[in-house]
Structure formats: structure tokens, C-alpha cells
Amino acid sequence: MSGELVLVTGGSGFIGVHCIVQLLEAGYRVRTSLRSLARADEVRAMVAEGGADAAGVEFAELDLLHDDGWLDAATGATYLLHVASPFPATQPQDPDELIVPARDGTVRAVRAARDARVRRVVLTSSFAAVGYGAPHPGRPYAEDDWTDPADERLTPYVRSKAVAERAAWDFIDREAPDLELAVVNPVAVFGPTLGRDLSSSLHLLRTFLNGEVRGIPDAATNAVDVRDVAALHLAAMTHPDAAGERFLAVAGDPMPFTEVAAMLRERLGDAARHVPTRAVPSWVVRIAARFDPDVRAVLPQLGRRPYASHAKAERMLGWHPRSNEEAILASAESLLRLGLVRG
């Protein structure tokens, strides 16, 4: 049992709370940040739902856009997991609504870690910072690939993740050469939700289960289980060779939405009776997206099958993720358990 203190930003989020659970189970002390301390009891309840004892969790109130409290929150921590980042269900009209808090919050976290003499920061980035550059016929995306954040054709969310991660590496190079940084780049994160505040991936899955979409678009999802993402954060936090490295968190090949829908109907039976069964042409999806923000979120994925590899995380950190199917089914089962799917 290490007893070392870890600061986890964004402790109320899908990934953040699973990181807290696994840190507590591994014997670490945890301090976590929230935008409002009014959510502390909610986080304690989610941690308990995950099977850990939340009694000793400390809380700090931090804002990605303000300096107040960051140094105090990082003081005494050996490690900092910067998980907090804006991730809306719909894309804003002004890209800076996402880009500025993602970038500035990341710099605040890394600066606080430097000033508090934290040993290592693990940044939760995204496949969005990797897989939207030049296409890669014949090979999967890997950690040396980068999305171009200046490409204005990309969604604000995709650009925000590339900008924020670049800002972290640049800060380390310029102003914190002695601070260790490792980055985790997950694809769409599924797995069991511990609360009712849903990530965008789970929100999309719920629209399928509730029959809120009339058909299945020509799109696919890469998937990874949130429990495996949290485990990769912990491995990147402590492994001697992880400093200065990026790690893609992806379970397997892209899974077409037609296969996701078929799996849900087969494995969940009557609980998946509202899941659509017919494919919808992309031109229909584009028209529907003009009126429905949930459909609009699918547009960047139409026709894409982005292959990515977790070979580096497996080779360097011994990371072995659950399958796409297990991750997505765990999400669906937790949505049903929490009563978030209509009968």
C-alpha cells in the first residue's frame, strides 16, 4: 500500500471516477477536483457504487479557466491525473468555447504540478488528437500520428484535444523539463457508468436503446472499456518507461453501428427492442443533422473506419483491454440498471 497522494482533476466524470476507484483500491490517497463542491456527495456515491471506500477522498474546487486553488490542490501530491476537460453532447458554434478551457486548463494543471514538485502528470488526451490527420491506408494509427489542430474542417472537440495535448508537451519542453508527462489517448469510452451524468459515448448508446434514432448510419465506433482506460492511467503513472510517452487506449478494430445494434438485440433481448434495425443512407443522415444535434454528432464519423493499435501500451505496460463487445454491453447493462433506458 503506497499511501502516496494523487490529485485527480474531473473526479465527477466518467473516466475520473473510475480512476479514483482504482487508485483507492491500490492503496493511494486521493484528492479530486470539482467545479463545485456541491457535487462531493455525488462523487462519494459513485465511488461506493464502484466498490471502493470514499471516506478518505479529499475535494478541491477548481475551474479550468481560473488560477485559484490549483497550486494548493497539487501541493503534497506525488502524481497528478489531469482528466478534466470539456466534452459536450453537442458541438458549440464557437470553437473557442471548447478549445480555450481545454488548452488553458491543461496548462494550469501542468504548471501547478511543476510548482508543487509533483513527480509525474498523466494527461487524459484522446484519439481525437491522433486520428484526424492524413489517412493511413495499410496501417493503423499509432502514437506518432497527430491531428492538425489548425484544420478548421474538424469539430471543435477534435481540435480542442489536439490543441490541449500540444500545449502540455510544449509547456514541459519550455518551462518544466524536470516534470514527467505521460499521455493516454482513448478512443470512444464505454463500460459501466457509476452515475447518471452520461458521457457522450453513453449518451449515443442510450439513443440507440431508447429508439430515438430511426435507423443506423454508415459509421463505426472504436471502443475501449473505462475500467481499462483507468488501469492504463495507473500504469502510465508509475511505470518507469512511461514518462515522455503517449499511449493509445483502444480495444480492437472499429465496430460498425450495424454490428453494435445487432449485438445489443441479440444479447439484451427484450431490453433492446427499441434498437433500430435498418441502415440509413448517409444523405438522409446529413439532412436529419440539420435539425437534430444528436444526429449532427455522428456526421464526422460517416464512412470512417479508423483503425488504431494498442500494441505500444501492451508491449511497454503489459496492458490488455477487454473486447469492444464487453465494453459496450457493460455500458448498456449499467444504463438499464440505473433506469436510464425506457421500458
Using the Cα atoms of residue 166, residue 161, residue 100 and residue 237 in order, give the sign of their dihedral: negative
Please tell me the distance from the alpha carbon of residue 236 to that of residue 19, in angstroms, as a whole number: 12
Contacts of 192 (CB under 8 A, 6+ apart): 226, 227, 330, 331, 333, 334
Neighbours of 151 (CB within 10 A): 12
* Strands of 5-9's sheet in order across: 58-61, 29-34, 5-9, 79-82, 120-124, 180-186, 246-249
For helices 96-115 and 156-175, the axis angle rounded to 10 degrees is 30
Q: What is the DSSP letter of 323?
A: P
Which residues are CB-contacts of 73 (< 8 A; sequence separation ≥ 6)? Answer: 7, 31, 33, 60, 62, 112
Task: Give one word for 51, left, alpha or beta, with left for phi > 0 and alpha for psi -120 to 50.
Answer: left
Phi, psi torsion values for 56, nearest 5 degrees? -95, 5
Strands (E) across the chain are located at: 5-9, 29-34, 58-61, 79-82, 120-124, 180-186, 189-190, 220-221, 224-225, 246-249, 255-256
Question: Could you give the CA distance from residue 281 to residue 295 in angstroms, rounded to a whole number?
Answer: 13
Cα–Cα dist 177/172, whole Å: 5
Which of the following is catalytic: 18, 161, 227, 310? 161
Respond yes or no: is residue 312 known to be catalytic: no
Q: Which residues are catalytic?
A: 161
